[in-house]
């Protein structure tokens, strides 16, 4: 009896802790609130919009239908806080840009927005930094201003991760060879993505944003998505759209003899969005395998 009671207490305590997503749900029966409302609010709060991609068109072309009246993948980064964060912690580039899922099911009366919490970003990156909380503060303020009638909550607590949250690869390079190494690496990446079914929705030359004082020889990020993954996962866990497209970082610090490549693994999707659907897990694991193969061939 004591063990059973203790288990109930523990389960109850766990339920008090929020999950990895901030979730906004706003009445939108007439469809007047659109993803552009979210985009403009973020822009007005110091964010640069990398992309705001409407997915229903591609869904209907490839799969013949969509479960959603609205399904957009919006990516953005904070102009000031992201720059400070990446220069202090280069692997934070996996959130430059970061993702926002904007979705509303067919015949549903509410529009939803999902975005990662600061705690989730820390967990995925593997380190703590004050900028995570600062970015989160700006995100929440912008969304609350844009969606004043929204119900704001956090997702259910995440499932235990079954794999590495940050997939990271390193290849040797030098101050003399970095330019040619960069060209060869990025050519290998771009050539490898398309045959595996990946699409690059956005490219950011973040070193250009950082300017002349940048500590990097180069810092590029690719927004990568696989339509089948997004479509399949969205059927049961649309909030996972905050992970799509995935940001692949490729950079070289001036004081290091290596090029680093990395992306948030699909284990984040399965853990944070509590994905247990067999088909969704299968397409995610195939995407992880394919993405890893591209980067492994690049660093060989």
- pLDDT tens digits for 48-66? 999 999 999 999 999 999 9
Q: Which residue bears the tokens 């944070």?
A: 272
Q: Which residues partner with 259 through β-bridges? A: 171
Q: Which band of pLDDT confidence, cut at 50, 70 and 90, is reported for residue 18? A: confident
Q: Which residue bears the tokens 């909550």?
A: 153
Distance CA 29, CA 14 (A): 34
- What's the pLDDT score for residue 2? 33
Residue 8 has pLDDT above 50, yes or no: no
Higher pLDDT, 17 or 141: 141
Residue 16 has pLDDT above 90, yes or no: no
Pick the CATH number of 17-299 from 1.10.3720.10, 3.40.50.720, 3.30.70.141, 3.30.310.70: 3.30.310.70
- What's the pLDDT score for residue 17? 56
Residue 15 has pLDDT above 80, yes or no: no
Q: Are 173 and 253 in contact (CB under 8 A)?
A: no
Q: Are 20 and 158 in contact (CB under 8 A)?
A: yes
Higher pLDDT, 17 or 99: 99
- What's the pLDDT score for residue 14? 38
Residue 258 has pLDDT above 70, yes or no: yes
Token pair of 27 as six digits: 């009445």
Q: Which band of pLDDT confidence, cut at 50, 70 and 90, is reported for residue 38? A: very high
Mean pLDDT over all residues of the chain?
Answer: 92
- What's the pLDDT score for residue 12? 35
- What's the pLDDT score for residue 13? 35
Residue 231 has pLDDT above 60, yes or no: yes
Cis peptide bond N-terminal to 211, omega within 30: no
Residue 106 has pLDDT above 60, yes or no: yes
Q: Are 171 and 99 in contact (CB under 8 A)?
A: no
**Percentage of the residues of the chain whose pLDDT score is greater than 90:** 89
Q: Which band of pLDDT confidence, cut at 50, 70 and 90, is reported for residue 300? A: confident
For the segment 116-138, the average pLDDT, to the nearest whole number, is 97
Token pair of 297 as six digits: 């061939």
**Strands annotated E in the chain:** 21-27, 47-54, 68-78, 98-105, 110-116, 151-154, 166-172, 199-205, 216-225, 246-253, 258-264
The pTM for the full model equals: 0.91
**Percentage of the residues of the chain whose pLDDT score is greater than 70:** 94
Token pair of 102 as six digits: 């904007």
Q: What is the residue-wise DSSP string for 217-237?
A: EEEEEEEEE-HHHHHHHHTT-
Q: What is the pLDDT of residues 174-209, one digit of tens each?
A: 989 999 999 999 999 989 988 888 999 899 999 999
Residue 4 has pLDDT above 80, yes or no: no
């Amino acid at each position: 009896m004591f063990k059973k009671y203790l288990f109930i207490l523990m389960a109850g305590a766990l339920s008090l802790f929020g999950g990895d997503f901030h979730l906004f749900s706003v009445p939108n029966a007439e469809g007047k609130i659109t993803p552009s409302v979210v985009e403009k609010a973020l822009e007005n709060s110091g964010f640069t919009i990398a992309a705001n991609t409407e997915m229903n068109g591609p869904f209907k072309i490839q799969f013949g239908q969509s479960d959603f009246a609205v399904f957009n993948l919006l990516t953005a980064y904070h102009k000031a806080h992201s720059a400070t964060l990446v220069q202090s912690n280069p692997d934070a580039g996996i959130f430059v840009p970061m993702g926002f899922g904007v979705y509303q099911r067919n015949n549903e009366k509410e529009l939803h927005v999902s975005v990662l919490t600061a705690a989730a970003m820390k967990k995925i990156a593997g380190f703590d930094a004050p900028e995570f909380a600062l970015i989160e503060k700006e995100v929440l303020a912008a969304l609350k201003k844009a969606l004043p009638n929204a119900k704001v909550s956090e997702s259910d607590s995440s499932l235990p991760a079954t794999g590495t949250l940050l997939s990271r690869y390193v290849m040797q390079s030098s101050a003399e060879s970095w330019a040619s190494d960069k060209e060869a690496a990025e050519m290998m990446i771009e050539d490898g993505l398309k045959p595996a079914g990946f699409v690059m929705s956005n490219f950011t030359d973040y070193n250009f944003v950082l300017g002349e004082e940048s500590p990097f020889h180069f810092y590029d990020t690719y927004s990568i998505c696989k339509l089948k993954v997004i479509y399949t996962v969205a059927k049961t866990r649309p909030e996972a759209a905050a992970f799509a497209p995935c940001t692949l970082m490729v950079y070289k610090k001036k004081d290091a003899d290596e090029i680093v490549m990395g992306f948030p693994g699909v284990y984040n999707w399965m853990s944070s969005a509590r994905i247990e659907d067999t088909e969704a897990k299968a397409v995610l694991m195939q995407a992880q395998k394919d993405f890893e193969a591209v980067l492994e061939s690049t660093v060989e």
